[in-house]
């Protein structure tokens, strides 16, 4: 449990089991980085398109095809106002627009905070399996110590649901109604099917835990506050980056031997007596924080967090211990207002109790080795009333923006292939009282195009590439002596957008015959990871120049014929690509007569085979 040398990347956790393919997936996160979201479909597809150190090959064709192939198969729900912007806009973000939904909790004091994935896999024999990820990590490039629980299970052929799974299925079922804009019918139907099946999945719980006692916990969905801890145990370990005095006192006032691992700044603002009532207080050692930096955030990434971000509660009761892990911080807000998700694991105290986490083990690196005591005499922070009021003012402004129902409308501009994008409101925008300034601009544009918010704001003469459903909002505020600003994107409903917008973006990314050839070869290889990683094919995929394209024609013919013989379905991907490209202007420049002579008879044969 919590071994620092057993670290996992989210991409690895999302990968289908060997021989299986991803059918659909639903994910949740508090904050979302758009570039991080672009990596999600790569997890489902091109396993061998990684460098030896685990970082991604930055081949735009891999990213493009993964998005085209799996964009309809995954849906992400995130807290409204928490979409982070890339330093530089990537046209590929266009393909993320249908996949991401902003969420606004019903409780005005709450936030949407779960970090969760449910993935449906289909094996070659058509059997169905599921994987559930219960995380403490957001879908960002943050460099933090987090926790990840992976549960795999097989869909059972039964009419009756498994009682333990009701909280899990109810959580997934509640997601579409929380979305700010309506979830598409196809995605709602997919999620409804997942909900039905999740009630009938027999999960394999981690070794040593009792399946009959393990369960799921949620909050913020029905207006009720959960009570997952039940009767107080005799000893408790709380691991959380954020703390509330009331929640900690809920343990210590009952005489529970309480141990806490948190951030120094969170300890600093708790009352001294609350800290003295705890048995031990620990923070991450400085060297542990340095080690957690994996250098995987892009240059210029803003608001990147590091240090402790894991959330865990361990409670000893008699011979057994409960281990809770997920998104709940040790705060009253998490349990009373937020939408949250976590899992309770129950096992023997000797294997999973508080002492097991806090006691070093000879000959191995453990969680305890990452810690150092917190000294109450080192307290430096004080609660800044102005800063607290500033945070509330910005939070309330964000919520007011979303509740006003921002929407987009596209209308033709004066010149061909140019459009006006108008930001309007479904309701009257009523901002909280205070010193506020709000501006907005499309994510495809730069900050210099920002306009003050009004009854309607029009961004004129945008190209196909300039149209987007992502709008950036800048909120500047002041409370007393505290000043601050935040920038975020909302994924808004749009009307009037041209139907062929994605095809236009696709055509802009494949702008010459060399790119087309590389993409086709990529498609024909991507169904077979071993083929996709062949040295000769990699060399060809990274070649450039029309001369090389013409010289590679025999290889292209050979590759198409191999696909026709082994897996004709791969040729359907090529046909889909060519169909999309054919809808965009200038396609004749790409689809030469020589290529058509190769492609036409092979595609006809593939259709007959199908």
User: Rounded CA gap, 190 and 73, in Å?
Assistant: 9
Range 100-112 average pLDDT = 95
Instruction: From 12, 4, 66, 15, select the one nearest 38 (Cα to Cα).
Output: 66
- Of residues 52 and 510, the one with the higher pLDDT is 510
Residue 408, C-beta contacts closer than 8 angstroms, at least 6 positions apart: 421, 422, 423, 424, 469, 471, 492, 493, 494, 495
Q: Where does the pLDDT of residue 548 fall: very low under 50, low under 70, confident under 90, or very high at 90 and above?
A: very low
Please check the confidence at residue 309 and state whether its pLDDT lies above 60.
Answer: yes
Mean pLDDT of 267-275: 93
Q: Which fold has domain 235-378?
A: Endonuclease; Chain A (3.30.870)
Write the CATH number of the domain with boundaries 10-208: 3.30.870
Tens digit of each residue's pLDDT (9 = 90 or more) over 89-105: 889 999 999 999 999 99
Q: Taking the C-alpha atoms of 58, 61, 65 and 67 in order, what is their torsion angle to the nearest 10 degrees?
A: 50
Residue 2 banded pLDDT, cuts 50, 70, 90? low
Whether pLDDT at 17 is above 60? yes
Distance of alpha carbon 531 from alpha carbon 337, whole angstroms: 51
Q: Mean pLDDT over all residues of the chain?
A: 87
pLDDT tens string 116-138:
999 999 999 999 999 999 999 99
What value does the mean pLDDT take over residues 327-331?
97
Percent of the chain with pLDDT over 90: 61
More confident residue, 131 or 224: 131
Percent of the chain scoring above 70 in pLDDT: 88
* C-alpha triplet 268, 273, 278: angle, nearest 5°: 85
> Can you read off the two tokens belonging to residue 222?
């029905």
Of the candidates 536, 465, 461, the residue with the CA atom closest to the CA atom of residue 503? 465
Q: What is the DSSP string of 306-354?
A: EEE---EEEEEETTEEEEEEES--BSHHHHHTSBEEEEEEEEEHHHHSH
- On the question of pLDDT at 249 being above 90, the answer is yes
Confidence at residue 430, expressed as pLDDT on a 0 to 100 scale: 94
The residue among 202, 155, 220 whose CA lies nearest residue 23 is 155
Secondary structure E strands in 506-558 = none
* pLDDT greater than 80 at residue 78: yes
Looking at per-residue confidence, does 333 or 300 come out higher? 333
DSSP code, position 534? -
Confidence of residue 46 (pLDDT cuts 50, 70, 90): low
Summarize pLDDT for 388-431 with one digit per residue, the tens: 999 999 999 999 999 999 999 999 998 999 999 999 999 999 99
Question: How would you class 131 by CB atoms within 10 Å of its CB: exposed for 0-12, middle for 13-18, buried for 19 or more?
Answer: buried
Q: How many CB atoms lie within 10 A of CB 511?
A: 12
**Quick one: pLDDT at residue 593?**
78
Which position has the higher pLDDT, 468 or 69? 468
145 has which bridge partners? 308
List, in order, residues 6 or more apart from 428 with CB less than 8 Å away: 404
Half-sphere exposure of 565 (CA within 13 A, CB side): 6
Higher per-residue pLDDT: 509 or 592: 509
- Read out DSSP for 431-453? PPSSEEEEEEEETTS-GGG-EE-
Whole-number pLDDT of residue 291: 44
The per-residue pLDDT for 536 is: 39
42-56, 291-305, 357-371, 482-496, range with the lowest pLDDT: 291-305
How far is C-alpha 376 from the chain's CA centre? 37
Domain ranges of the chain: 10-208, 235-378, 385-502, 512-609
pLDDT, tens digit, 9 for 90 and up, residues 160-177: 999 999 999 999 999 999
Is residue 579 scored above 70 in pLDDT?
Answer: yes
In angstroms, what is the C-alpha Rg of the chain? Answer: 26
pLDDT at 106 over 70: yes
**Does the predicted model carry a pTM greater than 0.75?**
yes
Sheet with 494-495: list strands edge to edge: 457-462, 419-425, 406-412, 494-495
Q: What is the structure's pLDDT at 189?
A: 98
| Beta-bridge partners for 112 | 339
Find the helix or strand (DSSP H, E) in which 260 lies: strand 257-261
Lowest mean pLDDT among 393-407, 446-460, 533-547: 533-547
Nearest to 94 by CA among 46, 37, 43, 48: 37
Q: How many residues does the chain have?
A: 610
Residue 83 binned pLDDT confidence (cut-offs 50, 70, 90): very high
Ordered DSSP codes for 165-233: GHHHHHHHHHHHHHBSSPPPHHHHHHHHHHHHHHTTEEEEPPTTB-TTT-EEEEESSSS----TT-S--
> Comparing 10-208 with 235-378, is the CATH topology the same?
yes
| Burial label, 117 (beta-carbon count in 10 A; 0-12, 13-18, 19+) | buried
Mean pLDDT of 352-380: 87
Checking if the pLDDT of 5 tops 60, the result is no
Q: Please check the confidence at residue 490 and state whether its pLDDT lies above 90.
A: yes
Reading the block at residue 95, the tokens are 């393909």
Between these two residues, 363 and 349, which has the higher pLDDT value?
349
pLDDT at 298: 38
> What is the arithmetic mean of pLDDT over 148-163?
94
Strand partners, 341: 218
């Amino acid at each position: 449990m919590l071994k620092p040398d057993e670290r996992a990347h989210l991409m690895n956790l999302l990968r289908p089991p060997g021989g299986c393919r991803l059918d659909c997936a639903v994910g949740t996160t508090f904050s979302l980085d758009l570039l991080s979201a672009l990596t999600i479909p790569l997890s489902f597809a091109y396993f061998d398109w990684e460098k030896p150190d685990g970082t991604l090959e930055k081949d735009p064709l891999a990213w493009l095809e993964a998005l085209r192939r799996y964009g309809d198969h995954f849906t992400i729900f995130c807290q409204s106002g928490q979409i982070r912007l890339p330093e530089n806009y990537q046209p590929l973000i266009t393909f993320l627009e249908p996949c991401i939904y902003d969420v606004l909790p019903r409780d005005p004091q709450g936030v949407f905070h779960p970090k969760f994935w449910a993935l449906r896999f289909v094996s070659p024999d058509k059997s169905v399996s599921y994987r559930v990820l219960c995380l403490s990590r957001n879908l960002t490039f943050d460099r933090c110590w987090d926790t990840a629980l992976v549960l795999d299970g097989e869909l059972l052929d039964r009419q009756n649901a498994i009682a333990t799974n009701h909280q899990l299925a109810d959580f997934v079922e509640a997601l579409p109604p929380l979305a700010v804009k309506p979830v598409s019918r196809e995605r709602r139907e997919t999620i409804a099917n997942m909900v039905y099946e999740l009630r009938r999945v027999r999960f394999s719980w981690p070794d040593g835990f009792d399946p009959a006692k393990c369960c799921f916990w949620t909050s913020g969905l029905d207006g009720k506050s959960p009570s997952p801890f039940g009767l107080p145990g005799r000893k408790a370990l709380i691991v959380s980056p954020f703390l509330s005095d009331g929640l900690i006192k809920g343990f210590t006032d009952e005489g529970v031997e309480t141990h806490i691992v948190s951030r120094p700044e969170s300890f600093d603002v708790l009352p001294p007596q609350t800290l003295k009532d705890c048995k031990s207080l620990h923070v991450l050692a400085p060297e542990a924080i340095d080690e957690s930096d994996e250098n995987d955030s892009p240059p210029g990434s803003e608001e990147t967090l590091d240090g402790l971000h894991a959330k865990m509660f361990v409670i000893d009761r008699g011979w057994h211990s409960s281990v809770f892990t997920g998104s709940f911080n040790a705060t009253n807000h998490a349990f009373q207002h937020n939408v949250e998700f976590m899992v309770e694991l129950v096992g023997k105290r000797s294997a999973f109790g508080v002492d097991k986490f806090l006691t070093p083990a000879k000959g191995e690196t453990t969680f305890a080795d990452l810690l150092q005591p917190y000294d109450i005499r080192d307290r430096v922070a004080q609660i800044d009333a102005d800063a607290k009021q500033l945070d509330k003012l910005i939070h309330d402004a964000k919520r007011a923006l979303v509740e006003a129902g921002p929407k987009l409308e596209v209308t033709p501009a004066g010149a061909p292939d140019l459009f006006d994008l108008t930001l309007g409101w479904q309701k009257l925008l009523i901002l909280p009282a205070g010193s506020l300034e709000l501006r907005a601009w499309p994510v495809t544009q730069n900050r210099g195009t920002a306009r003050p918010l009004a009854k309607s704001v029009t961004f004129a003469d945008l190209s196909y590439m300039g149209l987007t459903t992502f709008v950036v909002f800048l909120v500047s505020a002041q409370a007393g002596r505290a000043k601050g600003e935040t920038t975020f994107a909302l994924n808004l409903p749009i009307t009037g957008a041209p139907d062929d917008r994605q095809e236009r973006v696709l055509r802009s990314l494949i702008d010459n015959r060399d790119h087309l050839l590389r993409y086709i070869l990529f498609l024909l290889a991507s169904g077979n990871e071993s083929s996709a990683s062949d040295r000769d094919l990699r060399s060809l995929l990274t070649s450039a120049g029309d001369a090389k394209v013409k010289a590679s024609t025999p290889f292209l013919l050979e590759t198409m014929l191999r696909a026709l013989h082994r897996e004709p379905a791969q040729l359907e991907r090529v046909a889909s690509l060519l169909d999309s490209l054919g809808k965009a202007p200038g396609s004749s420049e790409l689809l030469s007569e020589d290529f058509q002579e190769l492609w036409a008879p092979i595609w006809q044969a593939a259709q007959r085979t199908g």
